[in-house]
Structure 1
Amino acid sequence: MASGSGRMPAVDEIARLSAMPTDLVTFWRSCTGIIAEAVPHYWTPCFFTLDPATLLVTSHFHEGLDEFPAEALAHEYYGDDVNKLVDVVRSSAGISTLHEATDGDPSGSPRYRFNMSMGGDQELISRLRTKRGDTWGAVSLYREPGAPLFTAADKAFLQAIGPHLAAGAQRAMAFGEAEDPDTSDAPGLLVIDDTWKVRSTTPSAQAWLERLSGAEASHELPAAVVAVAAQGLQNGRDGDAAAVAFSRVPVGDGTWALLHGAPLHGEDERRVAVIIEPAHPARIHPLLMAAYGLTEREQDVVRLVLTGASTAEISASLYISGLTVQNHLKSVFEKTGVRSRRDLVGKIFFTHYEPRVRDNEKRVLRGAAVRGGPIPPGDAAAARRL
């Protein structure tokens, strides 16, 4: 097992991989061996993507486990236990082991008994949060019975790579959706050379260029695209393979776009990949309105409930009283047909997110792009039939 200083090359390599425009499964696979060398564990890592707006699971990838067990998902959202994903990713440290959460005796935990049935004894969960503060996923590692406990150094390594894994996951999903779009606001991808010539583009990129330029007929790249491409190319010249240029710009309709500029390597000419995507995809809001008729404020309350926020936290975030929060929740419960916060979270997950998880599992098996966010309502039934 590598020491703390010996693990720095592994951190740097994952940072480099996170800058590459690639699909999500390729990214996870490229990181798996590096993590195993730095932190030995049982089988392979279990990678999750989460919707940053709700912290609900949108996909998982565990090599050799094509389908996440239904009973484990049900327990995650309806069961009473410790070390749940949402609790870990919301915690100050963003990392926890099941042994720590149970004071060294996990035998009473249902998730421990499930892990043991799969051959794993210890469980460690680490948050994947970007440096800008968006949580895009989590990674779980396991150790077999009799193996040494995860150490502080193990946890420090996972905390060090967490922001890189998060940024890589965000970029990989945007890259995949740009290559295979399914929504009107799907990310766009352009490959630009050092003469500002566009070498390749995805279908959705043109719509983004028009929104950024504010005009339909323009033969020049918008200034924001040129700026992020130039910085990406400069990073490539400086040999900083892990550096990705970012820019957050308005698109003229009250919304913002996030631009990534990543240098491409392995070619004779210098090129940069520019990904353009919505800065804050909040697909859950229109979905909640359409499905349940929630008011705007009720949607705000529900979004915070989904992330595990308490009444006091919701009150502080929305600048409303605790009594008003409870009144909103009473109305939400009536409209959604549930009786508790846990039931509300479970209903929204299994109605709008579990179909996305299952659809992504099938997409992985056929080599298609993994998608984030809740599945569009019209696609849920189709996803279950595939």
Structure 2
Amino acid sequence: MALRGASAQRAIEGLRELAGMGLTAPEIFRRSDELLRGVLEFDAVCWHTADPATGLVTSVLSDDLSLAGFREAVRLEVWHEDAASFPNIRRSGLRAETLSRVTRGRPERTIRFREQIAPASFGDELRAVFDTQGGMWGCAAFLRVPDRGPYLGRHRDLADIAARHIGNALRACHITPARSADAEAEQAPAMVILGPSNGLVAADDRAQRLLAELADDAMAALSVPTAFAIASERARRAACGELPAQGKIRVRAADGRWFVLHASLVEGLADGCVGVVASPASPAETMPMYLAAYGLTGREQEVALHALRGCDTKEIARVLAMTPYTVQDHLKAIFTKAGVTSRRELIARIVLGEQPTI
């Protein structure tokens, strides 16, 4: 896909370099804003990290928007399969879509436009999902004022390319660093109780510490990090029979630890209180994400998982219907991407979360 203009080319080159800079997710978002604002021609942006496995939003960052109404934004995101939603964009196989294009110039047909975008004095929205290497590492919504007119095809094309590079940068920063002894000792689950509007009602000592660690820009509006509000609202919708049985949401702390959030209604009422339990993620829950973060393909991840379980080359070949030579080729690629030279080093790196050279 050809890019128009030297400015767009420079922006993409800058985004491509982000994966090797060792940045945190907020730093990636702010640098991406600097590179893209002039060429995408947006007036405000809302950035999100996501659970790589499910694509569910886990945090929000915005230097442009007032998040006073973010509680309602969570409700709309969970309860309404609106046009150009993040899940719909991901399912389409695209990485970017505009509200004006998907509604054929009638964005007012969507509840998100009527209740969020238009009241905030914006005219069009471009959404992008940072989906790469089998995981959705984040997403963003770019908004522009009506005077600019709707986004054009070139904006959507540029956002599609940019999303891949931002996804790679986010993927790289999700390779967990070595954990401290104190973090290893913190193995007990944490409990939070949220009220009917998903505001904080109670939290035990561990939960209070975890809420502080996971704090994001939505805290002022929600009183809890975004991931807890999303988990709670999904439990409410599941109780109404509009979602499958409540699933889990994985969320990553700044020190690299992963937690799994499980939410359930305290009294069985969708408009009542919800309990959210945050448990340290098990190796089985984190290993696929670590492998994806190293840039392994789907087939390489399958081989790596069997190797991490102690299977030898012949066993892996039999289970995955490959030749032993093909397994060895995959293992060589895995070792190269993970920065190791043996299965023992691979196990140590994945289990201990050592930081590789990207």
Query: What is the TM-score normalised by the length of structure 1?
Result: 0.48
One-letter code of the match for 1:60? Answer: V
| SS of residue in 2 equivalent to 1:375 | strand
* 1:372 to 1:143, Cα distance in 2 relative to 1, 3 A: farther
Aligned length: 219
The superposition leaves residues 79-98 of structure 1 with CA deviations (integer Å, 9 ceiling, x where unpaired) of 25222111112212232111
Partner deviation per Cα, 1:256-297 (whole Å, 9 max, x = no partner): xxxxxxxxxxxxxxxxxxxxxxxxxxxxxxxxxxxxxxxxxx
Q: In structure 2, what is the Cα distance between the partners aligned to 1:168 and 1:150? A: 25
Percent identity, aligned pairs only, is 19
| Counterpart in the other structure of 1:3 | 4
Unaligned runs of 5+ in 1: 187-305, 307-332
**Equivalent residue number for residue 57 of structure 1:** 57
Map of 1:1-386 to 2, 5 A cutoff?
Answer: 3-43=4-44, 45-65=45-65, 67=67, 69-113=70-114, 114-130=116-132, 132-174=133-175, 182=183, 338=239, 340=241, 342-344=242-244, 347-348=246-247, 352=249, 374-375=260-261, 380=276
Cα distance in 2 for partners of 1:337, 1:161 equals: 34
- Residue by residue over 1:41-96, the C-alpha shift from the partner in whole angstroms, topping out at 9 and shown as x without a partner, is 112x2222222211211122112557571111111111252221111122122321
Give, in whole Å, the separation in 1 of the partners of 2:66 and 2:172. Answer: 23
Relative to 1, partners in 2 of residues 1:337 and 1:38: Cα closer, same or farther, differing over 3 Å?
A: closer
CA distance in 1, matches of 2:277, 2:81: 29
What is the CA distance between 1:126 and its match in structure 2?
1.4
Question: 2:158, 2:17 → 1: CA distance?
Answer: 16
Superposed displacement of residue 23, structure 1: 1.4
Contact 2:259 2:278 (8 Å CA) reproduced: no
Shift of 1:348: 4.1
The whole-number CA distance in structure 2 between the counterparts of 1:116 and 1:53 is 32
Q: CA deviation at 1:140?
A: 1.3
DSSP 3-state at the match of 1:82: coil
Compared CA separation, residues 22 and 93, structure 1 to 2 (3 A): closer
| Deviation of 1:381 (Å) | 6.4
Matched-pair contact (CA < 8 Å) for 1:51–1:372: no
SS in 1 for 2:129: strand
Q: What is the deviation of 1:134?
A: 2.5
Query: What's the offset of the Cα at 1:344?
Result: 3.2
Q: Secondary structure at the match of 2:148?
A: coil
The one-letter amino acid paired with 1:63 is D
1:50 partner amino acid: A
In structure 1, how many angstroms separate the alpha carbons of the residues matched to 2:9 and 2:173?
23
Q: Which residue of 2 aligns with 1:273?
A: none
User: RMSD of aligned C-alpha atoms?
Assistant: 4.0
Matches of 1:24 and 1:75 in 2, distance apart? 25
Paired amino acid for 1:170: R
Query: CA 1:104 to 1:184, structure 2 compared with 1: closer, same or farther past 3 Å?
Result: farther
Q: Contact 1:58/1:371 (CA < 8 Å) preserved in 2? A: no
Question: d(CA) in 2 for partners of 1:107 and 1:40?
Answer: 21
Contact 1:14 1:31 in 2 (8 A): yes
CA distance in 2: counterparts of 1:104 and 1:181, whole angstroms: 54
User: Is the contact made by 2:95 and 2:163 (CA closer than 8 Å) also made in structure 1?
Assistant: no
CA contact (8 A) 1:137 1:166 kept: yes
Q: Residue 52 of structure 1 contacts residue 135 of structure 1 at CA under 8 Å; is this kept in 2?
A: yes
Give the superposition deviation at 1:105.
0.9
Secondary structure of the 2:88 match is helix
Aligned mates of 1:185, 1:16 — CA distance in 2: 35
Secondary structure of the corresponding residue to residue 29 of structure 1: helix
C-alpha displacement at 1:108, in angstroms?
A: 2.5
Shift of 1:165: 0.5
Query: In 1, Cα distance between the equivalents of 2:111 and 2:55?
Result: 22
1:122 Cα shift?
Answer: 0.4
Structure 1 residues 11 and 376: alpha-carbon distance in aligned structure 2, compared to 1, 3 A threshold: same
Distance 1:171 1:185 in 2: 25
Question: 2: CA distance between counterparts of 1:107 and 1:180?
Answer: 53
Q: Is the 8 A contact 1:24 1:369 kept in 2?
A: no
User: 2:340 — aligned with what?
Assistant: none
Contact 2:136–2:167 (CA<8 Å) still a contact in 1?
Answer: yes
CA contact (8 A) 1:124 1:141 kept: yes
Kindly tell me: are residues 163 and 337 of structure 1, through their superposed partners in 2, closer, same or farther at Cα, counting changes over 3 Å?
closer
Q: Which runs of 4+ in 1 moved over 6 A?
A: 183-186, 370-373
Q: Which moved more, 1:167-176 or 1:154-163?
A: 167-176
337 and 168 in structure 1: CA distance in 2 versus 1, 3 angstrom threshold: closer
Deviation at 1:119, TM superposition (A): 2.5
